[in-house]
């Protein structure tokens, strides 16, 4: 079955890229890991600050980052972020490493009016309520794994096949279900949208009120 495993984080990069404003000057990526998303963000933005608290991940990200990406080795909550200084703050599978409300307040304050906070993170399982979606995810993940395995036989290696630079990436189990994230996030960021995604993730999107994005 390991041969059918694939990279769920890489799969969700596109969703975050789609959430970016059309004109994107400065982007902050939180928990950049080995930098795969930062490289793609760099093609869409003038400047990317990518932060991670793991020295190994920062080294891997720096090794591949183009010149408009600054990789910072720090705890994002300890970083002084100038208020209103980013057009977008994005994060892929890292928000559940942080205390939710303080993290949302810290990141939201760094957005310019009209800017977007776009997050994909890991939820805790919510059973039995989410049993149907868990079963659908397991079946669909097998199908995707089979398609990727067939592609590899034909010599095609897509992003979802995995990123060797991510070996040893810090991971953490989630404590909050999607319902809990939705309720708690709405108290901090009125108007936030939190959606369960099929492949064991949720998305959280919030636009800072103000100028058009
Ligand atoms: C599961 S990994 C995801 C990495 C990457 N975004 C990806 O999708 O491959 C979570 C990352 O968040 C980083 N992280 C955890 N807590 C952090 C914090 N307080 N500040 C900055 N980065 C943090 C970890 O070091 C790790 O690289």
What single string gives the DSSP state of each residue in 135-197?
A: HHHHHHHHHHHHHHHHHHHTT---GGG--GGGTT-------S-HHHHHHHHHHHSTT-EEEEE
Residues in the chain, pLDDT under 70: 1-3, 161, 212-213
Among 31, 34, 164, which residue has the most ligand 1 atoms within 8 Å of its CB, making it the best to mutate?
31
Residue with the smallest CA separation from ligand 1 atom 15 is 97
Position 213 scores a pLDDT of 45
Rounded Cα gap, residues 99 and 88, in angstroms = 20
Give the ligand 1 atom nearest the CA of 76.
Answer: 20
Among 35, 38, 94, 171, which residue has the most ligand 1 atoms within 8 Å of its CB, making it the best to mutate?
94
Query: Helix, strand, coil proportions of the chain in percent (round to 5)?
Result: 40, 20, 40
Site residues for ligand 1, CB cut-off 6 Å: 9, 31-33, 51-54, 57, 75-77, 92-94, 97-98, 166, 169-171
Position 23 scores a pLDDT of 75
Residue with the smallest CA separation from ligand 1 atom 20 is 75
Rounded Cα gap, residues 84 and 18, in angstroms = 21
The DSSP secondary-structure symbol of 25 reads -
In Å, the largest CA–CA distance within the chain is: 50
Residue with the smallest CA separation from ligand 1 atom 12 is 31
End-to-end CA distance of the chain: 44
Taking CA atoms, 82 is separated from 17, 25, 48, 60, 201, in Å, by 23, 15, 14, 26, 29
Give the ligand 1 atom nearest the CA of 169.
Answer: 27
Ligand 1 centroid – CA 140 distance (Å): 26
What does the pLDDT look like over 80-100, one tens digit per residue? Answer: 999 999 999 999 999 999 999
Closest alpha carbon to 32 in 84, 70, 78: 70
The packing angle between helices 178-188 and 100-109, to 10°, is 50
2-124+169-207, what's its fold?
Rossmann fold (3.40.50)
């Amino acid at each position: 079955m390991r041969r059918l495993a694939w990279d769920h984080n890489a799969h969700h990069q596109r969703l975050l890229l789609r959430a970016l404003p059309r004109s994107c000057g400065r982007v902050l990526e939180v928990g950049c890991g080995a930098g795969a998303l930062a490289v793609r963000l760099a093609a869409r933005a003038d400047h990317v600050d990518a932060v991670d608290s793991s020295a190994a991940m920062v080294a891997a990200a720096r090794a591949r980052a183009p010149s408009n990406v600054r990789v910072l080795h720090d705890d994002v909550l300890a970083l002084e972020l100038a208020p209103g200084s980013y057009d977008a703050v994005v994060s892929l599978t890292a928000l559940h490493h942080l205390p939710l409300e303080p993290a949302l307040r810290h990141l939201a304050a760094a957005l310019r009016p009209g800017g977007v906070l776009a997050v994909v993170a890991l939820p805790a399982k919510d059973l039995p309520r989410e049993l149907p979606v868990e079963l659908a995810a397991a079946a669909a993940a097998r199908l995707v794994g089979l398609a990727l395995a067939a592609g590899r036989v034909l010599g095609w290696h897509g992003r979802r096949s995995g990123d060797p630079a991510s070996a040893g990436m810090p991971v953490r189990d989630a404590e909050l279900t999607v319902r809990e994230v939705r309720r708690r996030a709405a108290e901090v960021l009125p108007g936030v949208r939190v959606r369960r995604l099929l492949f064991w993730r949720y998305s959280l999107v919030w636009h800072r009120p103000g100028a058009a994005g």
